[in-house]
Amino acid sequence: MSGDFEEWSSAQLARRVRQGDADAFTALSARYLWLVRAKAHRFSGAHAPEVEDLTQEGLWGLYTAAVSFDERAGASFSTYAGVCIYNRMASAVRRYGSSGNRTLNESVSLDSGDMAFTVAGEDPGAALELREWLHQLRQRLEASLSPLERRVLALYLSGCPRRELPEKLGVSQKSCDNALHRVRSKLRAME
């Protein structure tokens, strides 16, 4: 992790993540890893994915929080990130429970090819892998998703219920549903 980010607030790091700074996300993930792991352990159990899978989901939630955080909304980044992390893990547990106890890797393959996600700070190469992964993911998403699809995805991943998406985005329910369908198709094609 770059020492340059130690004095930065989490909101400032989130702003840098939105601008595509992978080092900022590495710093942010190192800062919030304790929270992600604590929530993962609370969710783990007989009817939930493994802690490692939940940790990956939590880091996805943290990334979603970073790219969709709006300082004008009045919540602190840590509060917003906690909600996004929780919602992402809760969704993973629901998916796990509704899929006949399939593993998360079977339902949404995040461990294949360049979609592999490693936790910053786990080993010396983790920060480099994370930076490369974020760069590739961001490029691929920006190239394939429309502005509406990006906004729908960010809200959906932060835990916003589907029925509230149209109101937040100022579009019809059908437009939101179609955008989510297109996002899913494009993400599946990226695997």
- What is the spatial distance between Cα 9 and Cα 97, in angstroms, rounded to a whole number? 37
Burial of 185: CB neighbours in 10 Å, binned 0-12, 13-18, 19+: exposed
Give me the mean pLDDT over the 40-48 stretch.
75
Q: What is the CA angle 181-177-62, rounded to 5?
A: 75
Counting residues of the chain whose pLDDT is more than 70, the rounded percentage is 70
Which comes out higher in pLDDT, residue 163 or 139?
163
CATH topology for 3-144? Four Helix Bundle (Hemerythrin (Met), subunit A) (1.20.120)
Which comes out higher in pLDDT, residue 27 or 96?
27
Give me the mean pLDDT over the 90-108 stretch.
60
Neighbours of 109 (CB within 10 A): 12
Domain ranges of the chain: 3-144, 145-191
Give me the mean pLDDT over the 176-189 stretch.
80
Please say whether the dihedral angle defined by the alpha carbons of residues 169, 175, 178 and 183, taken in this order, is positive or negative.
Answer: negative
CB neighbour list of residue 75: distance below 8 Å, 6 or more residues apart: none
Question: Mean pLDDT for the chain?
Answer: 76
